[in-house]
Structure 1
């Protein structure tokens, strides 16, 4: 009998799937295993991605309750299927239009300009911490949330605490759970105040959308559920701080790209390629999980009803078949021609409108691009520090958070 791998996944993080998949990876790979006491199969590669988003699989019940409740919240779109999922997903797509994402990008750019002016000639700063505050200060007002400027840092930190601790047992998880509870009460209160006319979020904003959202039967979403939806608009934007830290490290380690992107009007194709390579090269989610609706064959491995199908996200993004020398940071990969979307799944795969692909993908790419342009133009040095990336911790980032010493202008 195959041994249950749940503890190994918790201990090994991003390295876990690599110990199970073939070396070199086959195309695709499908490895029988056990997780959460259930029969499971680990799959990856483009064919694995396509199989993972097959309608014969569902999302409800695919994640351990503690992890799901802390990271996503209760009754969230991430755990819905079929008509419920499509209906709730449409809520996010209505708000996250191209124009709205561009507007959020401009908000973030203004925040970065303000904060870097304060850095000039000062003490070293930790890029990760600064990114959390910048992204929070940009996305919370953008979402239509009225709040005093003094409250912004606390809410941004709480949003980051959720992401930082959801996958790490012990104190980080406890801190994440506490932040989730506090933010949940706050967000539900915002929804109630909007419905009572005590605050007036502009139409088209996230707060207005969730406050006026209705379920499949035409009933208003419960305030708690609407609050969860609101947090799932703003939390992923703050989570882009992890990628911003990696982008800062990449600019340091690849000064040719720092120079290339430092122009006042940089090549937008190069900026976009850099942002994509940050998402591909540096890890965020190691795996994703789904549940078999019925007994079925998954790429040659029999999976019973209720069994788990686990997508190797990190392995797919580092598959040498599609990404030669995958651990090398090389944005030029994205300038050589179209990329098969099923080979790049840092935020999931499939169709964003009808499937479970993250609707905030363009937001994350925009946040990386804006931060990258800002950093490339900034005069700074990196003092000695520990830039090691611990692949056993989820999510991970450079240990130091990337310390920068701004130089006087």
Structure 2
């Protein structure tokens, strides 16, 4: 696993010629049948992600590392919050935030789109979640959330910044929970702050403020991660005038297809991990108790057996029938309501679509810059952050 972590997305290239690669400690797999196997209940998530990574990106004790009844109980809170009505509300909020941001864009004043996207996404999520959000607070939390996402899997100063930001965010979120419980923060019923402040364990005990704060951040943080998709989407739009024009003309089907292709072509993480509960045959290969099973997300999303010319950006892939289950897994696979699949996929698509819509309508240009992508870095994004300028 350490070797896979060092290589990041690049390791996927080494297994393109085989369905899976095995060592005495790890099975790496891709493709629909392997995706189904990866979510077999004989595999667990507890301990699958080293705490040095998981505690930074997800927070200590988060739903991502839980199994069985406790996982189902924790996940139910996210399902309660992330409904179709939520997606509709966030679409409206996101559109308003992008329109407000666009009014500040001026010709001859380029800006870094990645930073703008992180701010807009944070400004969208905090009020919806029931969190007070003055502009200065939004900017601070956007920087901290971005630092966590940008450095959780990087060796060096970025990781130090990520850990520091995580500690500050945890203290802030726990304070919000205490304030909500103590009546010092007036919260609307049904908001994320309200739901997490009232969350209890199976024995009836309230979650600690720290636990509830981690759960609250796991509503907001994934939405800010959409900034990585937005950066890639801007580059793709600049090279896809047909799709840009269709989207600007109000073609919602084209918009949805474009957003899906961004997720397929540029997944946020290259792999997902699980561990065997006991020694067993997993996907046709013996794995010892505690052995790792790694789902090749990047390889599955780029599998030539299911995606023609997979490295080509082509939204038309999503204009017809929906993808075969298990072939598109940028946010995991398996059962949506009970498994470890991300419950926020619809929200991710809504937030990405509204960003792409605004970019298409604004006729932004990309000045000369370094748009190279280091695929060995997790998460990867264009090196410049995507500098854009309004076409004057």
- Per the TM superposition, whether the score is higher than 0.5 is yes
The answer as to 2:17 corresponding to 1:31 is no
Partner of 2:295: 311
Partner of 2:133: 147
Q: Structure 2 matches for 1:115-264, cutoff 5 A?
A: 115-263=101-249
SS in 2 for 1:311: strand
Partner of 2:325: 341
Shift of 1:122: 4.6
Runs of 4+ in 1 over 3 A off after TM superposition: none
Which structure 2 segments of 5+ residues have no match? none
Shift of 1:362: 1.0
Conserved? CA contact 1:247–1:372, under 8 Å: yes
Q: Structure 2 matches for 1:79-98, cutoff 5 A?
A: 79-98=65-84
Shift of 1:296: 0.9
Shift of 1:22: 4.8
SS in 2 for 1:183: helix
The answer as to 2:91 corresponding to 1:105 is yes
Conserved? CA contact 2:111–2:387, under 8 Å: yes
Partner of 1:374: 358
- Determine the C-alpha separation between the residues in 2 that align with 1:84 and 1:332: 40
**How many aligned residue pairs are there?**
392
- Determine the C-alpha separation between the residues in 2 that align with 1:185 and 1:235: 15
User: Alpha-carbon deviations, 1:93-114, whole Å to 9, x = none?
Assistant: 0011111121112111111101
TM-score (norm 1): 0.94
Conserved? CA contact 2:45–2:67, under 8 Å: yes
CA RMSD of aligned residues (A): 1.1
Alignment match of 2:268 (pick from 284, 304, 308): 284
SS in 2 for 1:236: helix
Change over 3 Å in CA distance of 1:373–1:147 after alignment to 2? closer
Which structure 1 segments of 5+ residues have no match? none
TM-score (norm 2): 0.98
- Determine the C-alpha separation between the residues in 2 that align with 1:268 and 1:222: 43
Conserved? CA contact 1:30–1:301, under 8 Å: no
- Determine the C-alpha separation between the residues in 1 that align with 2:6 and 2:87: 36
Alignment match of 2:279 (pick from 295, 298, 314): 295
Partner of 2:11: 16
Shift of 1:386: 1.1
- Determine the C-alpha separation between the residues in 2 that align with 1:22 and 1:245: 26
Conserved? CA contact 1:14–1:283, under 8 Å: no
